[in-house]
Structure 1
Amino acid sequence: MDSFSKFTQNVSTNWSPFAEKVGKSFTQYKQLASEKLTSNAEVTELPTDYVALEQRYEAVRQATMSLVRLSRSYTAAPTQFDVQALQQQFTSLTAKIGARRDAETVSAAQKREEESVPNTLQHALARASLDVSERIGLEEPLGAALFKFGSIEEKVGNEKLQQDRSIHAKFIDPMAASLDSGFALAQNARKEVAAARLSLDAAKAAFKGAKSGHADAARRNVETAEDHFVTVVEEAMGLMRAVVESPAPLRYLSDLVAAQLAFHKEAAALLADLAPEIEEIQVTQEALYRHENK
């Protein structure tokens, strides 16, 4: 019997907070339904400062999510479709200029390419160019040019990988972490404000319709709900302000720009060295072509 009494006491102790939580949620749900279905329902307005801050916060939150998503796409490896399309284009090129190739060799090369997807599109260009240059022959102008081009593109691809690693470490990862920390706390606080507002308006409605014997208790419920509402609004504003005024995103953005700048500087330098070499081969070949076709 004593064991049963202890069991019922434990159930009662554990059930009370749960029942209270369910009851509060149900009250808020009823209030929300009343506001949706009743055109003249009284709704407590949020402070003007809170509304303005919430708009600023939401703009920052949406911008952060978009930048993280787009940056991940920017640093992502090329899709299989991109690589296959590139391979098909180069295969078409070699089919026109390399009639002396052996068909089985081409098939094997294509299979090797499909099994090893390049890390970047620059690497894809490099591998395809180098493969084609070998089949054409380095003694041919186009073969020599493609070999030079492929060698440089491989270096550009390596610089792209370095850029992507830097962007992930200094921009994407910390920005994504902020969505799971400061933004998450602010989001929960906003939900608490919405719930507190519904509880306050439900308490006001109950007080308005309370009978004389229950008026004092209903009034105390309103006062308690008002105090809680003010508290959660202040807490939410503090958390949203911390997000909006944080200098961290500017530091991350600066690192993103620095990573892109370093990549483009290196890529530009590599391509600047390559361009006159390709142009020289092109001019020489054009002169020979015109001479032989007079």
Structure 2
Amino acid sequence: MDSFSKFTQSVSTGWSPFADKMSKGFTQYRQMANESLGSGAEVTELPTDYVALEKRYEAVRQTTIVLVKLAKAYTAPPTQFDMQALQTQFSSLTSRIGGKQAEDVAAPAAAAAAAKGPTTTQHEIAQTALDMSEKVGLEEPLGAALFKFGSIEEKVGAGKLAQDAAVQAKFVSPMSYTIESGIALAQNARKQVQAARLSLDAAKSAFKNAKPVRADAARRDVETAEDHFLTIIEEAMRLMKAIVESPEPLRCLSEFVAAQLAFHKEAAALLGDLAPEIEEIHVTQEALYRHDNK
């Protein structure tokens, strides 16, 4: 009998925290339901400074999430070309200019695309231009121009990869960490504020409807709930303020801009050297064409 008594006491002790949590959850749920049904339940207003800070915080939170999503898309490898469609285009082209079958060009291009690791749109353009320069012939003006173009696009693609790596390391990673740490803590605190508010209003409602014999105990429940509510609000405001006032987003944004600037400067320099070379080939070819067709 003593053993059974000890067992039941042990179960009761172990169950108590869970039962208490379930009781609080049910109380909050019932209070929420009463408010949703418009039963005239008392609703404690959140402090004005809390509401104002929450609005500022929410704007920063949403901005951070959207910017990280866009930065990930910006640095992601492009969708690979539809090689079957590309092969069809090559086939159509070679049927007009003669020579080997299109597969001689398309197959190596498809294999190269499949074998490549991280790539960029510039790399895709470079590979196609280089493949077609061989098909046209490097001794032809168009073939020579395509070879020069493809070679430069490879270098531009390498610069794009360097930029993407910098954006990932100096923008996406730290901003994602902010979302997973500081913002996650603030979000949890906001939920706790709402839970504490519901518990406080439920306690007020119970005190309002309490019988005289329960009045003192019900009043103490309200006081305890109020103290908890204010403590949770202070903690939530501290966490939200840390997000709103942090210089980290500005530092990360500065790094994003610096990475883009370095890439575009390098690309502009490379293309700036290429442009007059292509133009010279074009002018020469046009002069020869007009001379031969007089």
Give yes or no for TM over 0.5. Answer: yes
What residue in structure 1 maps to residue 111 of structure 2?
A: 112
Distance 2:5 2:287 in 1: 105
Separation in structure 1 between the aligned mates of residue 52 and residue 87 of structure 2, nearest angstrom:
54
How far the C-alpha of 1:51 sits from its partner, in A, is 0.2
Q: Post-superposition shift, 1:41?
A: 2.5
CA distance in 1, matches of 2:178, 2:163: 22
Q: Matched residue of 1:119: which SS?
A: coil
Check conservation: 1:207, 1:219, Cα contact below 8 A.
Answer: yes
For 2:135, the equivalent position in structure 1 comes to 135
Letter in 2 for 1:134: E
1:18-167 alignment runs, 5 A limit:
18-38=18-38, 40-80=40-80, 82=81, 84=83, 87=86, 91=90, 94-95=93-94, 98-116=97-115, 119-167=119-167
Deviations along 1:82-136, whole A, 9 cap, x unmatched? 4649946963784366321334413423431452356000000001100000111
Distance 2:106 2:72 in 1: 34
Q: Which residue of 2 aligns with 1:263?
A: 263
For 2:242 and 2:221, how far apart are their aligned partners in 1? 32
Partners of 1:94 and 1:132 within 8 A in 2: no
Residue 204 of structure 1 aligns with which residue?
Answer: 204
Aligned pair in 2 of structure 1 residues 258, 288: CA closer, same or farther (>3 Å)?
same
Number of aligned residue pairs: 293
Three-state SS of the structure 2 residue aligned to 1:101 is coil
Q: In 1, distance between residues paired with 2:88 and 2:245?
A: 50
Q: Is the 8 A contact 1:152 1:274 kept in 2?
A: yes
- Establish whether residue 290 from structure 1 lines up as the match of residue 283 from structure 2: no
Q: CA RMSD in A?
A: 1.9
Q: 1:240 to 1:196 in 2, by over 3 A?
A: same
How much identity, in percent, do the aligned residues show?
Answer: 67
- 1:35-84 Cα deviation digits (max 9, x unpaired): 0002532210000000000000000000000000000000000013x464
2:16 is paired with a residue whose SS is: helix
- Post-superposition offset of 1:11: 1.7
Q: Partners in 1 of 2:255 and 2:89 — Cα distance?
A: 37
Q: In structure 2, what is the equivalent of residue 172 of structure 1? A: 172
TM-score normalised over the length of structure 1: 0.94
Give the equivalent residue in structure 2 for 1:190: 190
Instruction: Return 5+ residue gaps in structure 2 as ranges.
Output: none
Query: Aligned partners of 2:34 and 2:289: how far apart in 1?
Result: 85
Distance 1:162 1:90, change over 3 A: farther
Give me the whole-angstrom Cα distance separating, in 2, the residues matched to 1:270 and 1:224. Answer: 70
- 1:4 & 1:139 partners in 2: Cα distance? 99
Give unmatched runs, 5+ long, in structure 1. none
Asked if the contact 2:196–2:232 (Cα under 8 Å) also holds between the matched residues in 1, the reply is yes
Question: 3-state SS of the aligned residue for 1:41?
Answer: coil
One-letter amino acid of the structure 2 residue matched with residue 71 of structure 1: A
Q: Distance in 2 between matches of 1:96 and 1:23?
A: 79
